[in-house]
Homo-oligomer: A and B are copies of this chain.
Amino acid sequence: MSVAAPPTATAAAIDALAALLGPRLSRSPSDLALHGASETHFAPAPPDAVAYPHSTDEVARIMAICARHHVPVTGWGTGTSLEGHALAIHGGVTVDFSRMDRVLEVAAEDMLAVVQPGVTREALNTELRATGLFFPVDPGANASLGGMAATRASGTTAVRYGTMRDNVLALEVVLADGRVIRTGSRAPKSSAGYDLTALMVGSEGTLGLITELTLRLRGQPEAVSAAICAFPAMGPAVEAVIATIQSGIPMARIEFVDAATAAAFNAASGAGMADCPHLMVEFHGSPASVAEQSERFGEIVADLGGADFRWATRPEDRTALWKMRHNAFYSCKALYPDRPPIVTDVCVPISRLAQAVDETVAEIAASGIPGPIVGHVGDGNFHAMLMPRPDCAEDLATARRLASAMSERALRLGGTVTGEHGIGIGKRAYMAAEHGAGWDVMGALKVALDPAGLLNPGKLVAGD
């Protein structure tokens, strides 16, 4: 649907953008390189220029200029996405939202916040600390909220509080022709027409550029308690998750880490974890309710042979525990620092979780390639981090085969090829298998809103 713009068009667009933005239109080699790289194994793909807008109006002007010259535009938050979403594979202009980083409003009585897209989730929660409210979605990385909306991020707390799908009330979006629209409202719900907010959330910058978000906030729980517990094997750990979810305990977090990840935690943080699979959990509620939840969970764990509970009730201990979990990616990477990882996630119905994890672990073990597994298992969502030797074609082929097998298995089991990382470049090959004619419908929607194919070309939908 789209190809790179001819060099003369790109040069003309860059001239116009430089006139608009001055030094906030960068062509420095370091800036281009930074915005041409991703966290994972994808080949670098730098843009022709990086724009740093300050306002929605500037984003609309940038978009209008690029549309006039038929130059691709790719949004950039913090660059922490895992499927190459923000790589400028057709060149053009990357719009870096890091300078649109203001919390515009906290409406405590309506339990919502209005933010610019460059605000990170940690920055928002810091700002909210005194209000008794928090923003729950927690993908691990300190991602920008615009990027989290664009990729429909979720993470450790989605089992209780939902994903970005559930926590974005309204958006302001710059369309491919430079028009600005507002989706949703500040009301908690609406039946007024097509759900454009939901359409934009997860559209990965292919339908518009998010310039403002209205986010649902939650009350900070009165009481919080977290724990790690160990299991003799993966099977019982996963069974404990399934039993917990099915019994209706309103877990705030329930995370699986395999023995390899526990070893990485020990190496990185001196965690002192046993060489076996673990669950990491958190309970939110009133003191009485947290006590009740913990007790019921403890019974399920004991029934399945879990043991060695280590409770973290002090805030600093909980922070340390979840920081360790959030750093799983970097801790595992540190075990093989020279290996660009292939990170993949899938999500299956909870009833098929044990089978999906078992088969994945067996295949990875048989391959000889390191592949720690962690998961937001309360959602049926788990990740593998495959680490083939660098420049080893055989390893790379094996790792790709393992990742493919995970996706294909997820589809066979009634699930999805990605629970939270998104499509980007990495998962586009599975879209036809997952959605059938639905993928054509996505393509038709893309053409309707971006007929020239300028917004993040080469991602999510079919086309070049």
A449 to chain B, nearest CB (A): 6
Scan A184-195; emit 1 where CB is below 8 A from any B CB, else 0: 011111111111
Task: State which residues 379-431 of A face B: CB under 8 Å.
Answer: 379-381, 410, 414-423, 427, 430-431
In the complex, residue of chain B having the shortest beta-carbon distance to the beta carbon of A151: B191
CB-contact partner of A439 in B165, B191, B193, under 8 A: B193
Could you say which of B379, B430, B435, B449 contacts A188, with CB atoms under 8 Å apart? B379
Q: How far is the CA of A208 from the CA of B374 in the complex (A)?
A: 39
Query: How far does the alpha carbon of A242 sit from the alpha carbon of B188 in the complex, in Å?
Result: 13
**Who on chain B is nearest to A219 by CB?**
B248
Determine the chain B residues whose CB is within 8 A of the CB of A175 once the complex forms.
437, 441
Within 8 A of B (CB), among A197-211: 198-199, 201-203, 207
Binds B, one of A26-34, A62-70, A347-355: A347-355
| Copies of the polypeptide in the assembly | 2
A107 on the B face (CB < 8 A): yes
In-complex Cβ contact of A109 among B109, B185, B202, B246 (8 A):
B246
Point out the residues of chain B lying under 8 angstroms from A153, CB to CB: 191
The verdict on A127 contacting chain B, using a C-beta distance below 8 Å, is no
Q: Are A350 and B163 in contact (CB under 8 A)?
A: no
The stretch from A14-22, A284-292, A326-334 touching chain B is A284-292
Number of A positions contacting B (CB below 8 A): 83
CA distance A165 to B154 in the complex (A): 17
Inter-subunit contact A348/B196 (CB<8 Å): no
Contacts of A111 in B (CB 8 A): 246, 350
Residues of B near A193 (CB, < 8 A) are 202, 423, 431, 434-435, 438-439, 442, 460-461
Closest to A286 in B: B292
Residue from A180, A199, A421, A449 with most neighbouring chain B CB atoms (10 Å): A199
Do A437 and B179 touch (CB < 8 A)? yes
Interchain CB contact under 8 A, A194 and B189: no
Contact at B199–A427, with CB atoms within 8 Å? no
Given contacts A195-B199, A441-B181, are A188 and B351 in contact (CB under 8 A)? no
For residue A233, CB closer than 8 A to chain B, the reply is: no
In the complex the two chains form, is A189's CB within 8 Å of B163's CB? yes
Q: Are B442 and A445 in contact (CB-based, < 8 A)?
A: no
Smallest beta-carbon distance A210→chain B, Å: 14
- Given A198-B198, A199-B198: A347 and B381 interface contact (C-beta under 8 Å): no
A185 touches B152 (CB 8 A): no
A448 in the interface, Cβ–Cβ < 8 Å?
A: yes
Instruction: State whether the Cβ of A55 lies closer than 8 Å to any Cβ in chain B.
Output: no
Contact pick for A444, options B431, B437, B449, CB 8 Å: B449
Interface flags for A339-362 (1: CB within 8 Å of B; 0: not) read 000000001111100000000000
Q: Let me know if B448 and A418 touch, CB within 8 A.
A: no
CB <8 Å contact, A414 and B186:
yes
CB contacts (< 8 Å) of A299 on chain B: these are none
Q: Cβ of A272 < 8 Å from any Cβ of B?
A: no
> Contacts A185-B415, A188-B380, A286-B292 given; 20 further ones with Cβ under 8 A?
A109-B246, A152-B195, A154-B189, A179-B437, A180-B437, A182-B436, A185-B414, A187-B379, A187-B419, A190-B416, A192-B434, A193-B431, A193-B434, A193-B439, A194-B202, A195-B198, A196-B442, A219-B247, A219-B248, A289-B292
B202 close to A351 (CB less than 8 A): no
Residues of B within 8 A of A201 (CB): 195
Whether A194 and B448, one on each chain, are in contact in the complex, defined by CB atoms closer than 8 angstroms, is no
Contact of A187 among B242, B414, B430 (CB under 8 A): B414
